[in-house]
């Protein structure tokens, strides 16, 4: 198996590496967030979003304003980021693909840092499969999820679509899982042994569905003031059938309109983001009051974006800007400047080699992404790479500083010019003058792709687009 070969090659070379002394290695606070799009102050995705603490975190270092996930779903996005390998290399394309089996022999980020002397602590949601977190070869200690109050017995929105639901929760802040997670993380920052470098992974679950947070957060966003996203009613008219199928599968938007829940959904998402922001503030305060504050690299990443009605679509699971764009920042003492911004197109295969370079570790042989360290030092450094996002075998999106090019498995295409069309309302893929642009962008797509591995029922997902393959867990 190719992954086993890569592992053997890596272990064959690692013996000659002389790791830096523990005192020379930086600590790393590794913050992952589930289902948060660009509705944060530093990206300006929604005018009513209130994220002062997230913005405070990002202002510590470099904000990558044109950052994208490797896949617009939790499982493949996190698998790609943590392994440094793209979906077409691993076969992990959807939420239903067996990432735990595929990655069992791969030197992931946390395993690499553990092998190089780090105390690796993790809790919350880092990978998609919660049960896979506790492997002894990956963490010094894995805490797991912190439970929130039990989800409601009845659907609040009237749509009866499982946890695609939202509304205020009559619960104390201290009962929320992400609140407990923050308490745990702050305690680790303050009490973990200083003589050993720390890799602390904190995986926030919110704003993942259902959008149930204490009522006080809903009160911050009165329903009468809520602004829904800017949309074009005919937006799907120039989208090929493969893209339309991605957008309309499951009928979420039709259900939202029928139940008159669009404004309430936006309100609930903003409220849940505000709850998350408060926890980020508490975590930052804990870092700044800890003995590690001056030598800790802070990494902030969201696993993908989220639609709230744009292109008649909700959730992620698409190759458009709303699904692929993420909030991503790195603050590295002695490397980054405060409030720095970078507009170069980057994706999450760049993170693994970046962390290795910052920590003085060798990059494992299977990791092919480019390090971002030069951009961290100077956001205007030369950068010719293109951000690529994949959703299902054969479906890919390429994003450079100006254009987004999508090619589906059936060969159909979309092309958007963000300089003139930031909402991606006009598909110009059939414009003869854009052939050169498409040809350049498609060079970032794979020439061959791994088949999706069988799921637990023995069936291959392949190019599956069914709801089961992308279940929102």
Q: Which residues are catalytic?
A: 74, 128
DSSP output for 252-287: HHHHHHHTT-HHHHHHHHHHHHHHHHHHHHHHHHHH
- Alpha-carbon distance 472 to 73, whole Å? 8
Cβ–Cβ < 8 Å for 80, 87: yes
8 Å CB contact between 387 and 56? no
- Is the CB of residue 308 less than 8 Å from the CB of residue 49? no
Q: Is 10 helix (H, G, I), strand (E, B) or coil?
A: helix
State the alpha helices, DSSP H only, in 339-402.
351-359, 373-377
CA-closest candidate to residue 297, choices 358, 351, 339, 356? 358
Residue 325 neighbours by CB distance under 10 Å: 26
The angle at the Cα of 348, spanning 345 to 351, to the nearest 5 degrees, equals: 105
- Tally of CB atoms within 10 A around 458: 6
């Amino acid at each position: 198996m190719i992954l086993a070969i890569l592992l053997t090659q890596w272990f064959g070379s690692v013996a000659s590496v002389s790791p830096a002394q523990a005192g020379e290695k930086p600590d790393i606070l590794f913050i992952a967030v589930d289902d948060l799009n660009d509705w944060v102050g530093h990206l300006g995705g929604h005018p009513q979003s209130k994220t002062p603490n997230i913005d405070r975190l990002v202002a510590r270092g470099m904000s990558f304003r044109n950052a994208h996930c490797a896949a617009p779903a939790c499982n493949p996005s996190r698998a790609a980021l943590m392994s440094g390998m793209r979906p077409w290399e691993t076969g992990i394309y959807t939420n239903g693909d067996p990432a735990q089996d595929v990655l069992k022999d791969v030197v992931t980020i946390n395993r690499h840092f553990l092998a190089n002397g780090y105390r690796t602590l993790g809790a919350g949601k880092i990978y998609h499969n919660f049960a896979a977190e506790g492997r002894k070869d990956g963490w010094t200690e894995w805490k797991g999820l912190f439970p929130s109050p039990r989800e409601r017995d009845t659907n609040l929105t009237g749509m009866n679509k499982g946890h695609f639901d939202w509304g205020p929760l009559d619960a104390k802040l201290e009962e929320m899982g992400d609140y407990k997670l923050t308490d745990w993380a702050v305690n680790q920052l303050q009490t973990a042994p200083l003589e050993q470098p720390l890799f602390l992974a904190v995986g926030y679950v919110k704003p993942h569905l259902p959008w149930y947070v204490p009522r006080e957060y809903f009160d911050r966003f009165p329903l009468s003031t809520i602004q829904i996203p800017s949309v074009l009613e005919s937006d799907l008219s120039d989208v090929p059938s493969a893209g339309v199928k991605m957008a309309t599968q499951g009928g979420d938007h039709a259900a939202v309109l029928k139940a008159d829940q669009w404004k309430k959904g936006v309100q609930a998402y903003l409220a849940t983001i505000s709850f998350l922001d408060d926890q980020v503030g508490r975590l930052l305060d804990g870092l700044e009051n800890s003995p590690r504050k001056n030598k800790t690299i802070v990494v902030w990443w969201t696993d993908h974006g989220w639609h709230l009605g744009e292109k008649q679509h909700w959730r992620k699971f698409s190759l458009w800007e709303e699904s692929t764009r993420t909030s991503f920042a790195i603050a590295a003492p002695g490397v980054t400047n405060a409030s720095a911004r970078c507009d170069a197109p980057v994706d999450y295969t760049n993170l693994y080699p970046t962390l290795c370079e910052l920590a003085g570790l060798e990059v494992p042989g299977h990791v092919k992404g480019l390090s971002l360290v030069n951009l961290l030092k100077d956001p205007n450094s030369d950068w010719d790479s293109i951000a690529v996002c994949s959703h299902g075998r054969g479906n890919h999106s390429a994003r450079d500083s100006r254009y987004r090019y999508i090619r589906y498995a059936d060969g159909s295409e979309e092309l958007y010019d963000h300089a003139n069309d930031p909402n991606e309302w006009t598909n110009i893929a059939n414009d003869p003058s854009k052939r050169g642009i498409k040809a350049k962008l498609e060079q970032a797509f794979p020439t061959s792709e791994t088949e999706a591995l069988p799921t637990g029922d023995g069936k291959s997902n392949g190019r599956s687009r069914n709801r089961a393959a992308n279940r929102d867990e």
